[in-house]
Chain A
Amino acid sequence: MEAGATKSVIERLGGVGLLPVALAIVALPLTGSFSSWVTLTVAGLAMGMMIFLMASGLSLVFGLMDVLNFGHSAFISFGAFIAASVLAALAGWAHGPSGALNLLAIVLAIGAATAFCAAAGWFFERVIVRPVYGDHLRQILITVGALIVAEQLILAIWGGAPISVPRPAILRGSLVFGDVAIEAYRIFAFLLGLAVFVILSLVLNRTRIGLLVRAGVENREMVEALGFRIDRLFVAVFVVGSALAGMGGAMWAGYQGLISGTIGSEMLILVFIVVIIGGLGSIEGSLLGAILVGLMGNYVAFLMPKLSLASNMLLMMAVLLWRPYGLLPAVKR
C-alpha cells in the first residue's frame, strides 16, 4: 500500500518527467560546489535543447512514417556548415559593435541553415525515401547511402579541414549572478529550444493539422481510410523535421566553435539515444530524453571525463530494460 501511495504522488507531480530533476538533485552533492553545479546544469539544459531540435524531427518522422532516417545527420551537418558560411560572410555584422546587427547576422545564419535543410528535406523525401516506404531494410540501406553521399559533398564543398565558427559579439560573454557565471549562448540556445518546443506542441495539440499528424502516428491506415491525404502530411513533417535538424546543427556549430565534416554523424549517436529513451513519435518524449542526455553528459564529463558517451549508452540500456518502448512513447508497436 505504501509503495502504491508513493507511486501516485510521483505520478501527480509529473511521473517520468521528474527524472531530470532527480538526476540534477543526485548530481548536486557529487559535483561538490554549488556554482559549478549550476554551470553544469545550465550547460546540460542548453545542450539538451539543441539535441532536442535535432531529435524531434527524427522522432516525428519515425512515428508518422515508420521511416528510420540515417540521413538525418546530413541535415545537421549541412545546417552547421551553412550557418558557419553565412556568419563568415556577415563577419562585419556579426562581430561589430551594434547589437541589432549581431542579432540579424545570427537570425540570417540560422534562417539560411533552416531554409536550406527544409528544401533538402523535401528533395530527400521525394527522391530518396518515397520509393522505399514500408521496407525497413531498404530504408536503412538507402538512407545510409544518402548519408555517405551528403558527407562526401560536404567534404567536396567545404574541404576536410575543421572550420572555426566564432560566436557573434552579443552572445560571447557570460551573465554573472553572485559567484555563478552563465554563458549567454547557453541561455540563447535554451530559449530557442523552448520556443520551438512550445510552437511544436501548440501546432500538434491545438490545430487541425496537428490533430491529423497525431492521428497518423497513432493509426495511419485509419486516417487514410477517412479520406485524408496522408502522403502530403508525410512531406510536411519530413520538411519540418529536416529544417529543425538544420537549426539544431547551426546552433551546435556556434556552441562548439569548431566544426568538421563528421559533426552530423557524431551527433546522430546522441540523437538516436534520445529518441530511444524518449519513445518514438512524441516530442514530449524527445524533450525529456534530450534533457536527460544533456544533463547526464555534462555531469559525467565533469566527474569522469572519459565516460561521458558511455554514460548515455548505459542510461539508454537502463531505460530499455525498464521501459522497452521508451519513457513517453506516442505509440507502442
Chain B
Amino acid sequence: MSPVSAAETVGTPPAPARTGRLLVYGAAGVVWLALLFAPFLFPDVRAQEVAARICIFIVLVASYDLLIGYTGIVSFAHTMFFGLGGYGTAIALKAMGAGWDAVLVGGGAGVLAALVLAALIGLLSLRVKAIFFAMVTLAAASVMLVLASQLSQFTGGEDGLIYSAPRLFSAATKLLADADGKSVRLAGVALNGKLAAYYFVFFCSLVLYLLMLRIVASPTGTVLEAIRENEMRAEAIGYKVVAYRTAIFCIAAIIAALAGIVRAVWLKYTGPDVFLSFSIMIDILLMVVIGGMGTMVGAIIGVVVMTLAQFYLKDIMQFGADALSGVPFAPSLLDPDRWLLWLGLFFILLVYFFPAGIAGTLLKKGGRK
C-alpha cells in the first residue's frame, strides 16, 4: 500500500484497515471462485466431497453467526435444526422413493419442525437470562440426539439412513450425451449427475449466503447489532428485544434446516454423526469464532481454515509424533487423533487475544468490546 497521505479525509479508512479489507474480501472471493470451479480444478472424488462440505458449512456457520455474532445469542441447538432438515428429507426420500416431491415434502416438514421448535424455545427461554439460553438449547439438542438414535424405526438409529437422491443427481445420469451415448466431457470432467449435484449444492449455498448478507445489511440487521451492544438501550428506544431475538433465532433455524436438506441430498446418507453429534456443534462454534464473529465473511474464512486444519494438522502431528517417538508421553499428545487438543488450545488463545477472529481483526470490526 502507498503511504498514508496527509490529505486523507475522515471517510476513508486508514491504510492498515484497507489492506485488511482487501485481504479478507479477496480471500472470500477466491474461495467462492475456487468453489465455483472446484469440479474442474480438483477433479478427484475426495476433493469434491470437501468442496461440497465447505459450501454447506459456510451456510451453516454464517447462519450461526447471525445468532452469536450479530445478536449475541449463544445457542447449542444449531445442529438440531440442521438435523431436522436432513432427517426430514432422508425419511421422505426413503419412504416415497427418490423424487423431488419427497425432497419438497420431507424438507418442508423438517423446516416447519425447525421453525416451530425454534419459536417454542425462543419464546420460552429468550425472555429470561441470556445465559439460560445456552443451557436450554444444549439440553434440547442432546434430547434430539438421543431421540434420533433411539427411534430407530424412523431414523435408522446409530446407523442412520441410506437412500437415493433424485434421479438427476445419480452418477449414471448424462446431462449431455455424445454420439456413443456417453457423457460429454468438458475440460476432462464428465457432465454427469454428480456434477449436477455439486452445482445444486453450490448454488443453494450461494443463494442462502447472499440472503443472509441481505438480512444483516437490512434495518433489522442493525437492530440486532444494537441489541447485541446494549440490550437495555435497544429496549428503551422501543424495539421489542424478545421479538427480534426470537425472530432471528427462527430465521437461523430455518436456514440451518435448509442447509440440512442440501446436505442430505448430496450425501445420500443421514445419520447422527454427520448431522446431530455434539462434535459438529463444536466445529461450527470453532469455525465462527476463528473466522470472526459478526462479520459474515468470517464464516467463509473460518470454514476453510478449519477444514484445511482438519486435513493438514493431522499430517504435521503425525510427523511430530514420529520425530518424538523416543520421548515418553509426547507421541500420545501428538497423535493425529489428538488434533482437536491443539485446536482447542489455539481456540483459547484466540478468544483471549483476538476475540474478533481472523476476519474481525483484519477488518477491525465485529467481536465485542
Query: Hey, which bits of chain A sit against chain B, CB under 8 A?
Result: 68, 128, 131-132, 135-138, 140-142, 144-146, 148-149, 152-153, 155-157, 160, 265, 268-269, 272-273, 275-276, 306, 309-310, 313, 316-317, 320-321, 324-325, 333
Contacts and interface: CB of A to CB of B under 8 A. Distances in A.
B344 interface: yes
B131 A306 contact: no
Nearest to A268: B138
B72 A137 contact: yes
A212 B307 CA distance: 49
A272 B132 CA distance: 9
11 contacts: A131-B352, A132-B352, A141-B351, A148-B343, A148-B347, A160-B337, A276-B132, A276-B136, A276-B139, A309-B142, A320-B124
Interface string B202-246: 000000000000000000000000000000000000000000000
Contacts of A316: 136, 139
Contacts of B125: 320
Nearest to A142: B351
A309 B147 CA distance: 9
B140 A324 contact: no
Given A137-B368, A156-B338, A276 B135 contact: yes
A77 to B, nearest CB: 14
Given A141-B351, A149-B344, A309-B142, A320 B128 contact: yes
B347 A324 contact: no
Nearest to B332: A156
A310 B341 contact: no
Given A137-B68, A149-B341, 11 more contacts: A137-B72, A137-B368, A146-B348, A148-B344, A152-B341, A152-B344, A156-B338, A275-B135, A309-B142, A316-B136, A324-B128
Contacts of A276: 132, 135-136, 139
Instruction: State which size class the interface on B falls in.
Output: 35 or more
B147 A136 contact: no
Given A272-B138, A317-B124, A320-B124, A142 B146 contact: no
Given A149-B345, A320-B125, A141 B340 contact: no
Most buried by B among A149, A273, A275: A149
Contacts of B135: 68, 272-273, 275-276
Contacts of A142: 348, 351-352
Interface string B137-152: 0111011001100110
Contacts of B167: none
A316 B135 CA distance: 11
A138 B136 contact: no
Interface string B117-140: 000000011011111101110111
A301 to B, nearest CB: 12
Interface string B315-352: 00000000000000000110101101101110110011
Contacts of B278: 265
B50 interface: no
Contact of A155 (B140, B338, B347): B338
Nearest to B124: A320
Contacts of B139: 269, 272-273, 276, 313, 316
A128 B335 CA distance: 25
A142 B289 CA distance: 11
